[in-house]
């Protein structure tokens, strides 16, 4: 059987470099490798609404932004099905049935959900806290709490074997595998167990924000967006966090935890050196000089700016093209959503049959019950 990809993003903002190295770049490579039978890339608007119930307009406006980012990054609607989650209602029905296979306790142990509940301030996070403060917290929306189950529907509906995603999605894939396992053992072999495909380099696994904080996040204002201009990229890199103890050029510097070097780990390629920094043959040489001392931050930053802008320029160029064709972008999403719906409907049929809720399809059921009652009469 051929390999199938499903992955996606929440439309809560434009996509940034963390999205790019964490998953998007890989998807484009996999798409172009021709090794996959089908590729589905989903704009997860229904999932975005699980913690944005009061802000539907944000989600609505960001659909096109994410679609533009996808197309600009090189996803090709001829080879990948781009679709909107909410336009495939079959996914909700699957989730409703999967809910019976997962316990509240298991969801409570999901590390990503746990961290997100804290981050969003839904639940109490410390025992010493004033009781009134704890009471004032909004509580965790049920839809949000159960989104890992909805994500299992997203993945299994398309019989995905492979989910290219960031590290934070690992618990979701694990949970999906458990649901698949449980479903198949209760109702018979029906669903496909997926695998996560993580970035192969540590810098890409979790790209820090420009401020050196653990993760790029819109609310922290530490993102470089795929749609940023060359000038914005330059400004952001120039203010980037480096080694706070590297005060003078002569001082030895630290490369670990130095955001500029982490970004170089994620983005630089050997051919960038002869082009933009011919005094060094490789990133290892550059790092060695920085460690010894005598290499200033600005020189390294200028190199990073060149590398990032070389990477982003073709993406910007495609964006400019698609920005002038918004109707076409929506047409791509509509066609993709229709196609996704047909795929999901097939899986849903299999699920209904396996769960024995396919009453009207089952002539045997009707005939045997009719027969039994006739014999009784």
Residue numbers at the binding site for ligand TRP (CB under 6 A):
6-10, 44, 47, 151, 154-155, 163, 165, 169
User: Closest CB to ligand TRP among 144 and 273?
Assistant: 144
Token code pair at residue 202: 């540590």
Rg of the chain's alpha carbons, rounded to an integer?
Answer: 24
Nearer to ligand TRP, 16 or 287 (CB): 16
Contact 167, 206 (CB under 8 A): yes
Whichever of 179 and 237 has its CB closer to ligand TRP, that residue is: 179
Closest to ligand TRP by CB, 75 or 165: 165
**Measured distance CA(364)–CA(142) in Å, rounded:** 39
- Report the nearest approach of ligand TRP to the CB of residue 211 (Å): 21
Q: Which is nearer to ligand TRP, 196 or 286 (CB)?
A: 196
Contacts within 8 Å (CB) and 24+ apart, 73-77? 73/15, 73/20, 73/24, 73/25, 73/28, 73/226, 73/315, 73/318, 74/28, 74/31, 74/32, 74/315, 74/318, 75/24, 75/27, 75/28, 75/31, 75/41, 76/31, 77/332, 77/335, 77/336
State which residue, 169 or 210, has the beta carbon closest to ligand TRP. 169
- The CB-of-204 to ligand TRP minimum distance in angstroms stands at 15
Instruction: Give the shortest CB-47-to-ligand TRP separation in angstroms.
Output: 5
The DSSP secondary structure of 35-65, one letter per residue, reads --SEEEEEE-HHHHHTT-TT-HHHHHHHHHH
Residue with tokens 């409907």: 345
Least Å distance, CB 157 to ligand TRP, is 10
Minimum distance from residue 255 beta carbon to ligand TRP (Å): 30
**Residue closest to ligand TRP (Cβ):** 44
Q: How far is the CB of 167 from ligand TRP (least distance, A)?
A: 12
Give the distance from CA 17 to its chain's centroid.
12
């Amino acid at each position: 059987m051929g390999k199938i990809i499903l992955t996606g993003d929440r439309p809560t903002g434009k996509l940034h470099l963390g999205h790019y190295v964490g998953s998007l770049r890989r998807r484009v490579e996999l798409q172009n490798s021709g090794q996959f039978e089908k590729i589905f890339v989903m704009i997860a608007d229904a999932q975005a609404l699980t913690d944005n119930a009061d802000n539907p307009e944000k989600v609505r406006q960001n659909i096109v932004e994410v679609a533009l980012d996808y197309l600009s990054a090189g996803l090709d609607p001829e080879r990948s099905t781009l679709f909107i989650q909410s336009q495939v209602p079959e996914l909700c029905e699957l989730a409703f049935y999967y809910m019976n296979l997962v316990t509240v306790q298991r969801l409570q142990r999901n590390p990503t959900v746990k961290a997100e509940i804290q981050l969003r301030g839904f639940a109490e996070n410390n025992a010493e806290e004033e009781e009134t403060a704890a009471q004032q917290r909004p509580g965790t929306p049920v839809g949000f709490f159960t989104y890992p189950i909805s994500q299992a529907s997203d993945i299994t509906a398309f019989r995905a074997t492979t989910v290219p995603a960031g590290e934070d999605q690992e618990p979701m894939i694990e949970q999906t595998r458990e649901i698949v396992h449980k479903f198949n053992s209760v109702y018979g072999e029906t669903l496909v167990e997926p695998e996560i495909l993580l970035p192969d380099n540590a810098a890409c696994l979790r790209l820090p924000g420009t401020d050196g904080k653990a993760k790029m996040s819109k609310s922290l204002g530490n993102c470089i967006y795929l749609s940023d201009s060359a000038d914005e990229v330059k400004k952001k890199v120039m203010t980037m966090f480096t080694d706070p103890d590297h005060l003078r050029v002569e001082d030895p510097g630290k490369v670990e935890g130095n955001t500029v070097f982490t970004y170089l780990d994620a983005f630089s390629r050997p051919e960038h050196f002869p082009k933009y920094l011919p005094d060094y043959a490789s990133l290892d040489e550059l790092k060695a000089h920085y460690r010894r001392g005598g290499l200033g931050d600005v020189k390294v930053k200028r190199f990073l700016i060149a590398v990032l802008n070389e990477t982003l320029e073709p993406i910007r160029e495609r964006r400019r093209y698609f920005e002038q064709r918004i109707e076409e972008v929506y047409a791509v999403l509509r066609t993709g959503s229709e196609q996704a719906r047909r795929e999901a409907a097939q899986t849903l049929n299999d699920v209904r049959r396996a769960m024995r809720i396919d009453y009207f399809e089952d002539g045997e059921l009707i005939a045997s019950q009719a027969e039994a009652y006739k014999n009784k009469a």
